[in-house]
Amino acid sequence: MSRLTMTVNGRPVDIDVPESRYLSEVLRQDLNLTGTKIGCNEAECGICTVLVNGTAVVSCVYPAFKAQGTQVETIEALSHNGSLHALQQAFLDHGAVQCGICTPGLIMTAKGLLDRAGGEAVTEDDIRTALKDSYCRCTGYQSVINAILQASGQAVPPYLPKTREAGHAVGKALPNPNAIAKITGSARFTDDYRFPGMLVARTKRAGVAHARIRSIDTAAAKELEGVHAVLTHEDIPGRNAHGIVSVDWPVLCGNKVRYVGDAVAIVAADSEEIAAAALELVKVDYDALPAVTDPIEALDSDAPQVHEERPDGNLLKHIKVRKGDVTTGFGEADVIVDRTYRTPTAEHLFLEPECSIGVPAGYDPAAFGGQCDELAVRGETAKHDKTTIYAGSQIPYLDRDQAAATLGVADHDVRVVATLMGGGFGGKEDIAGQIHVALLAEACQRPVKMLYSRQESLMVHPKRHATVIRIRTGATRDGKLTAVEAILYGDGGAYASLSEKVLTRATTHATGPYEIANAKVDCFAVYTNNVPCGAFRGFGVTQSCFAVESNMDVLAEQLGIDTVELRRMNALDIGSQTSTGQVMRESVGLKECIDKVDGDMRSGDFRWTWDDGHRRFAWGVAVGYKNTGLGGGAPDKATAEVEAWSESDGQLSAEVRISSAEMGQGLPGVLAACAAEELQIAPQRINVLLGDTDYCPDGGPTTASRQSYVSGNAVRHAAKDVARQLAAAAPGSRIKARHEYWAPKTMPLGTGGDMHVAFSFCAQAALCEIDLRTGEVSVRKVIAAHDVGRAINPLTLEGQIEGGIVMCIGYALTEHYIQEDGIPWTNVMARYKAPSITHAPEIVSHIVEHGTAAGPFGAKGVGELPSIPTSPAITNAIHRATGVRVRSLPVDQDELLRAMNDSAADLELAWGDRKPIPAIQFGGEP
């Protein structure tokens, strides 16, 4: 311990801390300034940025004693007596706050820039330079840039596309209700919670792709001083498995490990150091098994079996779409395009690594000399009368049920408190540490926190499926699509996760949003010894859209038809039938999306491509669609509770309660608007309580772009009920109502009829710049139009759109989660590049509102849609610029330059690919 003296946020700090501390640790742990967040501990993500003597530094690799005698500023310093700093106000105004985990880092980096500018206006270039290493995975950066311009004194209004006239609350551009907490640093994510007596938990990972466990020896670890528990499969009282669709994922492996991130033992200890040391002492003896890591090879009869007990072997699911007769369809075609594409495994890279806290039933903080953390829980429940799990989760009720099954207790004997989530994007649907902390908390009878390191997060949680997709598209001379045949192989990794559902969506959307009489699509979801794959924004459609929309451009070129016109003439419309036999009766805004984008793109002095020195510019276009809701016959419901009461000022206030998750998409604002519209009060008077399974009814999973629709409807109906009762009640009454909302019935794939309650549509045009000397590609501008039914909150909607587009730019150009024989090469954040502010283009956004009758105020889903067609729009632009058809993502400049120099027609090696795209045959019975 040594004396550390510095000034933090204007106050003198004089504390004894070990000299080995990092500044981030002193701020967060010793000074309880948890507004400074940790995303990687690698100096990569920038979310821990603070100012030291006015200079922005990443506090995660900044030794605390380097700051000896300095002035340190953190996010907590910015607002004074409730008045916001100009940057905070601007981030609020522009909706530049989504999940909020990166917000303090962005704001502090920007403050360093503005302070240095000393009141002079900064330029967009200055901002892009200063924020180059300050990542945000939600916003797409345009709102961030505009906010900083505003804060530097420039009159830059929030970018808001035109939308329908607002109602009382619906249609109004308002900041997300939790945005204030996020910009001031008071927003609490799981790692920001602390409980007296809390222990630190860690997980022993397999570290090998496939092996049989001979023995697990925990004796030495248990004896280490400071270790409170070491648990293995033998210590599980209930079910030793979890899984959203199939329960096939061991909580703790006992017989064998199937992927590198498998959990073998869990440890709770007094400190992180002791927990790490204990993991080293856990000895696991393995018999190595051959690993199967290629989904196509995994279907060979002699392939190693990932789950030996499965009758179907490594085949997780064969998914089929059949419509009409493709032989007839191709017979009618004058041109047939047949190509095979490949998409990479992709990582969500939510900037908050997974964190869970378990609190044992009957926990009394006084036993550890502490008091209840009044901020952590609703005051009246601070007694923790049951096993409680705090976690940022997309499916709180399912976490609860799965933890209860493993603990061997009833569902209602476990409570999940969903904390704020620092991004999810589908990656926080499966169980991470939730069950482990519950087991450890009960074993130790103390609160236990398990925070994944970034490296662990990369290794453990399910990714976006890598796919190989062969697709054959036929059309007549005048451009009428006659048939599509496709075959997809999806790498599901070691456990089922959501593979079946994700790849079903890839399959049903594999014809694109077009009316085609004949379709035959087969998809094989396959187990391998790779990291599992599951939900990721776009849910399989991102993959098939790349193949579909690439083929459409090839087809247009071969037919000599304008690429936009080819899409327009085949686009789904009212009366069209989808590949699964669903007849579209309403809310098909695709043609309007196409027209909006096309009109904008071609306005002025339009050229498809032009040169400026060694730089070639070109436009590319793609369209996309995405179902709203679970669909396919799955019961899709949400229950909401709304309570209203009169305040002392006579005005009505209300609270909305539902377990649905906020992960930066803006759900609380949407739900507040739905309730406010029905109650005819200001949305600011509505508190939205999400995700506490003891206080909020079940809103179902936050997936499938379903929450605005399903939870929105539940809230709307409950609020309507409250309004009706209020009208009849005595003044001053407190009225509460619940509504269980069932989305319209859907039909399973293969039965025809309505597979989904609604579809959202979009068109995007990407202007790309290709450096002819280096093969480097950048996206300069994206023009987008999205049919969302109804824009309930245009500000947060625009954030979803811009963020989704930039995420898909990453899919096309920068991101590849690379595994070598089941071992991730991508084992640190430094090896996985999400788009930074330097990659973010100007985005022009059009909102199309073809309402769907059953949606709340006409709204349908939008969370995933923007992240679907951007990658083919980019590769279509690259083809127009260079003549090279990119068939594997992400684009490799090295390979692209070679292809350009060789005048090659195709590029089938993406960055990170080590072998060409495999040749696959169409198959599956007719």
Partner 1 sequence: MTRSWSNYHTPATVDEALALLQRYGGSARVIGGGTDLLVETRRGLRRPFEAMVDASRIKGLDSISQDDNYIVIGCGVTHTMIVNDSRIIRHGTCLAESCGVIGGPQVRNTGTLAGNVAHALPAGDGTIGLLALGGEVEIAARGGTRWMPAKDTFLGPGKSVIDRQQEVLTRLRFKPTGRSEGSAFHRVMRPQGLCLPIISMAVRLRLDEDNTVGAAGIGMGPVGPVPWFAEPVIAALLGEPASAAQFANAAEVALDNVTLRTSKYRATEEYRKAMIRTYLPMILIRAAQRAGAAR
Q: How far is CA 833 from CA 116, 423, 466, 502, 821, in A?
A: 28, 16, 17, 24, 21
Using CB under 8 A as the binding rule, whether residue 411 contacts partner 1 is answered as: no
Q: How far is the CB of 720 from partner 1 (least distance, A)?
A: 50
Give the residue carrying structure tokens 């994007």: 425
Using CB under 8 A as the binding rule, whether residue 814 contacts partner 1 is answered as: yes
Q: How far apart are CA 865 and CA 704, in angstroms?
A: 10
Using CB under 8 A as the binding rule, whether residue 387 contacts partner 1 is answered as: no
Q: Are 586 and 853 in contact (CB under 8 A)?
A: yes
Using CB under 8 A as the binding rule, whether residue 780 contacts partner 1 is answered as: no
Using CB under 8 A as the binding rule, whether residue 160 contacts partner 1 is answered as: no
Selected from 71, 86, 132, 320, the binder of partner 1 by CB under 8 A is 132
Q: How far apart are CA 507 and CA 481, in angstroms?
A: 18
For residues 97-126, which are near partner 1 according to CB under 8 A? 109
**184: which residues sit within 8 A by CB, 6+ positions away?**
35, 75, 76, 78, 79, 84, 88
Q: How far apart are CA 784 and CA 763, in angstroms?
A: 6
Using CB under 8 A as the binding rule, whether residue 854 contacts partner 1 is answered as: no
For residues 258-287, which are near partner 1 according to CB under 8 A? 272-273, 276-277
Selected from 27, 58, 156, 686, the binder of partner 1 by CB under 8 A is 58
Q: Are 534 and 701 in contact (CB under 8 A)?
A: no
Q: How far is the CB of 767 from partner 1 (least distance, A)?
A: 17
Judged by DSSP in three states, 467 sits in strand
Q: How far is the CB of 46 from partner 1 (least distance, A)?
A: 6
> Residue 659: left (phi > 0), alpha (psi -120 to 50), or beta?
alpha
Q: How far is CA 153 from CA 114, 121, 147, in A?
A: 10, 6, 10
Q: Are 870 and 766 in contact (CB under 8 A)?
A: yes
Q: How far is the CB of 267 from partner 1 (least distance, A)?
A: 14
Q: Are 67 and 22 in contact (CB under 8 A)?
A: no
Q: How far is the CB of 549 from partner 1 (least distance, A)?
A: 22
Q: Are 855 and 758 in contact (CB under 8 A)?
A: yes
CA 849 to chain centre: 24
Using CB under 8 A as the binding rule, whether residue 163 contacts partner 1 is answered as: no
Using CB under 8 A as the binding rule, whether residue 685 contacts partner 1 is answered as: no
Query: What is the dihedral angle through the alpha carbons of 390, 391, 395, 396, rounded to the nearest 10 degrees?
Result: 0
Output 236-240 pairs: Cβ under 8 A, ≥24 positions apart: 236/406, 236/439, 237/406, 237/407, 237/408, 238/404, 238/405, 238/406, 238/407, 238/408, 238/409, 239/405, 239/406, 239/408, 240/406
User: Between 66 and 745, whose beta carbon lies closer to partner 1?
Assistant: 66
Selected from 42, 124, 297, 842, the binder of partner 1 by CB under 8 A is 42
Tally the C-alpha atoms within 13 A of residue 732's C-alpha that lie toward its C-beta: 2
Q: Are 814 and 847 in contact (CB under 8 A)?
A: no
Using CB under 8 A as the binding rule, whether residue 526 contacts partner 1 is answered as: no
The size of the interface with partner 1 (CB under 8 A), counted in residues, is 56
Selected from 348, 461, 464, 839, the binder of partner 1 by CB under 8 A is 839
Selected from 11, 14, 16, 20, the binder of partner 1 by CB under 8 A is 20
Using CB under 8 A as the binding rule, whether residue 615 contacts partner 1 is answered as: no
Using CB under 8 A as the binding rule, whether residue 130 contacts partner 1 is answered as: yes
Q: How far is the CB of 400 from partner 1 (least distance, A)?
A: 31
To which H or E segment does residue 3 belong? strand 2-8
For residues 720-779, which are near partner 1 according to CB under 8 A? 773-774, 776
**What is the secondary structure of 520-563 as a DSSP string?**
EEEEEEEE-SSPPB---TTTTHHHHHHHHHHHHHHHHHHHT--H
Using CB under 8 A as the binding rule, whether residue 151 contacts partner 1 is answered as: no
User: Between 866 and 890, whose beta carbon lies closer to partner 1?
Assistant: 890
Selected from 13, 15, 43, 689, the binder of partner 1 by CB under 8 A is 43
Q: How far is the CB of 835 from partner 1 (least distance, A)?
A: 8
For residues 876-905, which are near partner 1 according to CB under 8 A? 890, 892-894, 897-898
Q: Are 53 and 141 in contact (CB under 8 A)?
A: no
Q: How far is the CB of 812 from partner 1 (least distance, A)?
A: 11
Contacting range for partner 1; rule: CB under 8 A; set: 738-746, 800-808, 814-822, 865-873: 814-822
Q: How far is the CB of 56 from partner 1 (least distance, A)?
A: 5
Give the residue carrying structure tokens 């010793």: 30
User: Between 319 and 884, whose beta carbon lies closer to partner 1?
Assistant: 884
Using CB under 8 A as the binding rule, whether residue 382 contacts partner 1 is answered as: no
The binding site for partner 1 (CB under 8 A) comprises 2, 18-20, 41-43, 46, 49, 55-58, 60-66, 68, 109, 129-134, 272-273, 276-277, 453, 455, 773-774, 776, 813-816, 818, 825, 828, 830-831, 833, 839, 890, 892-894, 897-898, 911-912
